[in-house]
Amino acid sequence: MKLPNITILDESDKRLRKKSQEVTFPLNDTQRQTINNMITYLTMSQIKETQEKYHLRAGWGLSAVQVGLLERIFVIVEEIEKETFKHYIVINPKILSHSEEKIYVGEGEGCLSVNRDVVGIVPRYARITISAYDMDGNPYEIRVREDVAIAFQHELDHLNGILFVDHINKKNPFQGKELMREI
């Protein structure tokens, strides 16, 4: 596997604060290549050997805006067994429903565009159902839960110009913790 030539924008880049545009189909070659590059990068970032070789921070998800393409596309790469991955390609997503239950990542959320430690909790829904399109323009619905639901919500935020740090209360970073479940 060859490391793709992509640059992940840092949180100081103003493009990360813009709302991404809806995608029209069919996808062009640039869009397809961007999706494939993001999947390869995320996969390599989760394999210890390539992570160390290329000095990569592990990541589960990337939105197109993080690599400079302001379009409503994100990918999630979930390791389901050691070095066995499930890919989610999500284009023009819309949340159809969500649980009442909220959860948060105990050790805190991270982001490949935020290169600093951030303390605090990010409230997320425990389960969400979204509608989206695949690379060929076929519509689908998917219900995700727990850590995958958090990753989907994190990437959906990127498409709307929101970073996870925006959800953390600056004065009380652990506010409402007792009302949510830690995962």
Return the domain boundaries, the chain.
20-182
Q: Is 78 a catalytic residue?
A: no
Q: From residue 120, how far is each of 4, 82, 107, 126, 145 by CA, in Å?
A: 32, 30, 9, 18, 21
Whether residue 132 is predicted with pLDDT greater than 90 in this model: the reply is yes
* pTM (predicted TM-score): 0.95
**pLDDT classification of 32: cutoffs 50, 70, 90:** very high
pLDDT confidence of residue 60: 95
pLDDT at residue 181, rounded to an integer: 96
Distance CA 106, CA 49 (A): 26
- Considering the candidates 79, 109, 146, 155, report the single residue annotated as catalytic: 155
- CATH number for the region 20-182 comes to 3.90.45.10
Nearest to 90 by CA among 64, 69, 113: 64
Rounded to the nearest 5 percent, the helix, strand and coil shares of the chain are 30, 30, 40
The region that residue 108 occupies, defined by phi over 0 for left and psi between -120 and 50 for alpha, beta otherwise, is: left
